[in-house]
Amino acid sequence: MVERLAIVGVGLIGGSFALAARAAGLVREVVGFGRRRANLELALERGAIDRRADTLADAAADADVIMLAAPVGACIDLARALRPAARPDALLTDVGSVKASLVTGLEDVWGAARVVGAHPIAGSEQTSIAAARADLFRNRRCVLTPTGRTAPDALALVRRLWEGVGAVVETMDAARHDELLARVSHAPHLIAYALVDAVSASADGAAALALAGSGFADTTRIAASAPALWRDIALANAPAVRAALAEFRTTLATVEEALARGDGVALEALMERARRARARLGGA
Amino acid sequence: MVERLAIVGVGLIGGSFALAARAAGLVREVVGFGRRRANLELALERGAIDRRADTLADAAADADVIMLAAPVGACIDLARALRPAARPDALLTDVGSVKASLVTGLEDVWGAARVVGAHPIAGSEQTSIAAARADLFRNRRCVLTPTGRTAPDALALVRRLWEGVGAVVETMDAARHDELLARVSHAPHLIAYALVDAVSASADGAAALALAGSGFADTTRIAASAPALWRDIALANAPAVRAALAEFRTTLATVEEALARGDGVALEALMERARRARARLGGA
């Protein structure tokens, strides 16, 4: 059991982890820190945290594990600010959607042995503690990205915590994680934003959106995600995201060429291959 | 009240319309025709239709209104086959996602005065009668695309039927409908198919899809739609779909250029504009 867990950023992910970890008896005390006081009050009310830290130093003090559940772009500065007040052996982990550049930065700031990068594949376009729930990670994947410098006991503890909240844990090289996530998450977010913007900013955009059905709503749901978050993720993983977008554009060009020459056979073949791949995913 | 309504293609849309029209007392008898007998048996069992027609001639005989709820690519041939057995004054309507080329074709085959093109903006990637429900069209838009040749009483009757099942009806020029739907439906379907195919056909595609979360599932849900349906829709509306895809590509290029030069300000501005437009849509 972890004596004291500090969660920096008690939103959907941090709040859900806190609820789940407490429900599973994995932690004795959870201290929460965040920018918005109302958010932390709600976290207290919902039983996600035991107490609110007023400063980063207060959050770090005597914590065994510190979880950064803040936007990717803020994590390294937060780690730097937490370090002086934290115990030398405090374990620092995060939940960021990008791993390579972030984990390297955290290692530099924190001391590499006690840093474990993690990315639970869960969440939605909502980011608030109001949407948090203890079963958010149940049967969802959580990727850990230890490096050659990670202490084995630190990795083992973070694995135990995520398995304890129901996640299916796997370890992976951070660069590989980032390439795979660029394809199934980072690039699709940019595609969704671009699609909404292309329609809404076009002549007659409002008329077009008035005729949007549930298909368009599904396809663009992630464009309701917080822009600052996804801006940082895209920038932090820019080479892999650009490669994924290039892959996508190549396939889209194939579709457009088939359409231009009226080639229903080629169109349907590509669609059918995609349909089968999509069917294997399920509703997720 | 319509004495006899024939529905050709008793799937999600045709079946839901039949359920709703019967529930609202808009029709005295509903006759169903379809390619798959099991489907029609289920439609009978669910109370969507009163009886099953064994042939198109049987379906057409003495029908006041014939609704084509079959794939877009099949409608003109069906109309041609129905015509000899139908009453001269029988009203022909459809539910296709493409209107201009389809309505022109139907007018040529049927006699223009008694043809009313319609497109209810409802449905999903599911197409079966099993998913049909009487409230599918409630508060959803239904676009009617009368031409200069449509008889006013025919248009009024189709409007009454769709309003009777709860839809918000508007009339629109067919070409304008097709341009707007290209942007919010036809092009997004092709984008979703292309996105799934780009990921799944890439090296490591299976590993990437294993890490797909609910965002990817939402964004690509419409890629589970029936390929033959969407192949025909895309081909029937190819110029508008290509224009919509070109618009999308231009916006995506703007995103990629911002990413390439690390321009977080430009990225966030576009994302924020998209987020606001998406927020106005709601969950739909």
Identify the CA nearest to B163 among candidates B274, B64, B21, B284. B21
Subunit contact B220:A281, Cβ cutoff 8 A: yes
One domain, residues A7 and A74 = yes
For residue B88, name the pLDDT band (cuts at 50, 70, 90): very high
Kindly report the three-state secondary structure assignment for every residue of A198-263: HHHCCCCHHHHHHCCCHHHHHHCHHHHCCHHHHHHHHHHCHHHHHHHHHHHHHHHHHHHHHHHCCC
Query: Contacts of residue A270 in chain B, CB cutoff 8 Å?
Result: 193-194, 197
One domain, residues B36 and B164 = yes
Subunit contact B213:A259, Cβ cutoff 8 A: no
What CATH number does the domain containing B54 carry? 3.40.50.720
One domain, residues B36 and B107 = yes
Tell me what the pLDDT averaged over chain B comes to: 96
Is the pLDDT reported for residue B149 higher than 80? yes
Burial of B61 (0-12, 13-18, 19+ CB in 10 A): middle
In which domain, by residue range, is A129 found? 2-172
Of A177, A251, A262, the CB nearest to B197: A251
Query: Tens digit of pLDDT for each residue in A38-51?
Result: 999 999 999 999 99
Contact at 8 Å (CB) between A160 and A187? no
Place of tokens 């083992």: A156
| Contact B123/A at CB under 8 A | yes
One domain, residues B26 and B51 = yes
One domain, residues A120 and A246 = no
One domain, residues B158 and B184 = no
| Contact A213/B at CB under 8 A | yes
Output the DSSP codes for B44-96: HHTTS-SEE-SSHHHHHTT-SEEEE-S-GGGHHHHHHHHGGGS-TT-EEEE--
Domain boundary among B172, B199, B219: B172
Domain boundary among B172, B194, B224: B172
One domain, residues B17 and B147 = yes
Question: Beta-carbon neighbour count of residue B175 at 10 Å?
Answer: 15
Query: Tens digit of pLDDT for each residue in A176-214?
Result: 999 999 999 999 999 999 999 999 998 899 999 999 999
Place of tokens 């530099």: A108
Domain boundary among B172, B207, B233: B172
One domain, residues B159 and B216 = no
One domain, residues A185 and A128 = no
Query: Tens digit of pLDDT for each residue in B34-73?
Result: 999 999 999 999 999 999 999 999 999 999 999 999 999 9
Angle between helices B264-281 and A227-236 (to 10 degrees): 140
Nearest Cα of chain B lies from the Cα of A80 at a distance, in angstroms, of 23
Number of domains within chain B = 2
